[in-house]
Chains A and B, each alone.
Chain A
Amino acid sequence: MSDDELHYLLNLAPLEKETKVARFYEELKKGVLTTTKCNKCNKLLWPPRYICPHCLSDDLEWVKLSGRGKIYAFTEIRHGLSAWMENYAPKPVGVIEIQEGLKIVSWIEDAKFEDLTIGMEVQACHLEVSPDTVILTFVPVRT
């Protein structure tokens, strides 16, 4: 069995490498958080889309986000681990309300659960979970 097949079976994600929103990951690898905005109805969309769910337009553009946000809710995954989480738990995970108004689910890295608070300022980052797979994460803004 190849590494790729093993990864698939262990459910390391994202799995859908063939996707119309591949640009999200290309930009993320360069350290830039982006999403799509519908040019027809002007809505900023999350997750990034290929077709606007509000008006069905395919006239969407990629916009760069500031990457800044605040923690809206948070917890820590300690038990009840999915197959791939055994390598990562315990892991703080939260809902981040970014400056542009979207809510994004993400791991919170470089932080101890005990130090997190609702309202804490965080900054988008990314984590390489396998040689060609990167996921969005957030880290506390250190002042």
Chain B
Amino acid sequence: MGKEVAIVGGGISRYGKRKDASFRDIAVEAEKEAFESAENISPKDIEALYVATAYSDRLIVQCHPAPLVAEYAGITPKAGIGRVEMACTSGTVAIRTAYMGIKAGLFDIAMALGVEKMYSAPTPEIQTCLSIVADKEWEGVYGINAPPGFAWIAQRHMYEYGTTEEQMALVAVKNHKYGALNPKAQFRKEITVEDVLKSPIIAPPIKLFDCSPITDGAAAVILTSGEKAKQYTNTPMYIRSMAQVNIANTVANIPSLTTWVPLKEAAQIAYKNAKVSPKDIDYAELHDCFTISEIIEYEDLGFTEKGEGGKFIEEGQSDIGGTVPVNLSGGLKSKGHAVGATGVGQAVEIMLQMRNEAGKRQVDGVEISLAHNLSGFATHHTVTIYGREPY
């Protein structure tokens, strides 16, 4: 149904505490690299631009950020422009917005650019932004930003399935092992299970090293219709399917903390539309906002059985040589979580893997990849499947 859509270029800024660069500086850093990764294309060719940023209004006191980014980027869209906000899934939803327009035949060339500058504001303001992702009146009011919410999720998963803090720590250890090999990552140092277990307790059982960091960063991808893709690159990456499911917002209204129903539904839709199954996935970028998140994602994406996510990481199944290598970019934990950029950054990492440009993080033979993003207390999920061929 509709046109094929391909990613023909992508770029990503260095992620981290970027005292050297502003919101707009980081945006163009990623944008420039995206154009350099494709051929025969320049900013003036972009017909539609979707800018993902979750908190620019509060953290850098800048509204209407899409036209600002467009002007700095040299982009003059005549078919579509907008700012996309869906908290931690903003980036993927920006990609989806561009995807929908191309699929519908409204435009042929678009850019999705995610950017977040988090460190400019005082720390209490950053944490406030994260707690108002929750329903501010009924849940956010209690100061619940992500760590307490995912602490409940971790506590219940440990209670229902016997998952351990050591198993959760292995996720951070794996992701740091690969972040150390990623020149764009925020943290480029390996850590041990002991480092994780000894780190300060943020909201029990979640410790500092179970958490993804605060990050400044940007990422951009160029999308075109399938029929035009080969004009811009020899290695287009086709979007085989994109699914997005949101069934509730408050913790009060989700069926379970430990089985993420909207993720299972989004996965089913994505696999079905791409005509693949979990065993066909050669590489995955998953949303490890917390170590427990990656464990639950192994289960609800169908890579392993419910409750077996801890065993999956223990056995090395999410590392090279295992069932499916996961988050060799370093993931949100080690590469960083520049909120608006995250979903777009995952697409760029998958593009590098498919182009054999992932350096020391390279997996052999990546044909089909999966990217997963979530927002809220795992109430909203996106699943995207990429392939070398359009079908």
Using a CB–CB cutoff of 8 Å, the interface residues on chain A facing chain B are: 11, 13-16, 46-47, 72-86, 88-89, 91, 93-95, 102-107, 113, 118, 135
Contacts and interface: CB of A to CB of B under 8 A. Distances in A.
B245 interface: no
Given A95-B251, A105-B139, A75 B151 contact: yes
Contacts of A73: 152-153, 155-156, 257
Contact of A107 (B130, B142, B145, B257): B142
A16 B137 contact: yes
B127 interface: yes
A80 to B, nearest CB: 5
Which 10 pairs show the lowest CB-CB distances between chains A and B? A75-B151, A73-B152, A13-B141, A85-B143, A47-B138, A83-B124, A82-B128, A82-B131, A105-B139, A75-B203
Residue from A72, A80, A113, A118 whose CB has the most chain B CB atoms within 10 Å? A80
B128 A11 contact: yes
Contacts of A75: 147-148, 151-152, 155, 203-206
Contact of A79 (B131, B200, B251, B257): B200
B201 interface: yes
Contacts of B156: 72-73
Interface in B139-166: 139-145, 147-148, 151-153, 155-156, 159
Given A91-B143, A103-B252, A105-B250, A81 B148 contact: no
Residue from A16, A85, A86, A113 whose CB has the most chain B CB atoms within 10 Å? A85
Nearest to B144: A93
Contact of A83 (B128, B153, B205): B128
A134 to B, nearest CB: 11
B39 interface: no
A116 to B, nearest CB: 10
A103 B257 CA distance: 11
Contacts of A94: 152
Contacts of B136: 13, 15
Contacts of B203: 75-80
A33 B136 CA distance: 19
B288 to A, nearest CB: 17
A46 B156 CA distance: 22
Nearest to B159: A118
B251 A80 contact: no
A47 B252 contact: yes
Interface in B197-213: 200-206, 208
Contacts of A93: 142-144, 148
Contact of A78 (B127, B202, B251, B257): B202
A84 B152 CA distance: 21
Interface residues of B, number: 39
A45 B329 CA distance: 43
A139 to B, nearest CB: 15
Interface string B231-261: 0000000000000000000111100010000
A23 B130 CA distance: 29
Given A73-B155, A79-B200, A118-B159, A47 B257 contact: no
27 contacts: A13-B136, A13-B140, A15-B137, A46-B253, A73-B153, A73-B156, A75-B204, A75-B205, A75-B206, A76-B204, A77-B144, A77-B147, A77-B203, A78-B202, A79-B200, A83-B125, A84-B143, A85-B127, A85-B143, A93-B144, A95-B251, A95-B257, A103-B252, A104-B252, A105-B138, A105-B251, A118-B155
B251 to A, nearest CB: 5
A62 to B, nearest CB: 16
B252 A81 contact: no
Contacts of B137: 13-16, 47
Contacts of A78: 201-204
B57 interface: no
Contact of A89 (B128, B135, B143, B200): B143
Residue from A13, A14, A88 whose CB has the most chain B CB atoms within 10 Å? A13
Residue from B152, B203, B250, B251 whose CB has the most chain A CB atoms within 10 Å? B203
Contact of B143 (A47, A82, A104): A82
A26 B147 CA distance: 32
A88 B143 contact: yes
A91 to B, nearest CB: 7
Given A47-B250, A75-B203, A83-B127, 5 more contacts: A13-B140, A14-B137, A47-B135, A76-B203, A113-B204
Residue from B135, B147, B148, B253 whose CB has the most chain A CB atoms within 10 Å? B148
B278 to A, nearest CB: 28
A46 B127 contact: no
A88 B252 CA distance: 23
A142 to B, nearest CB: 22
Nearest to B200: A79
A117 to B, nearest CB: 10
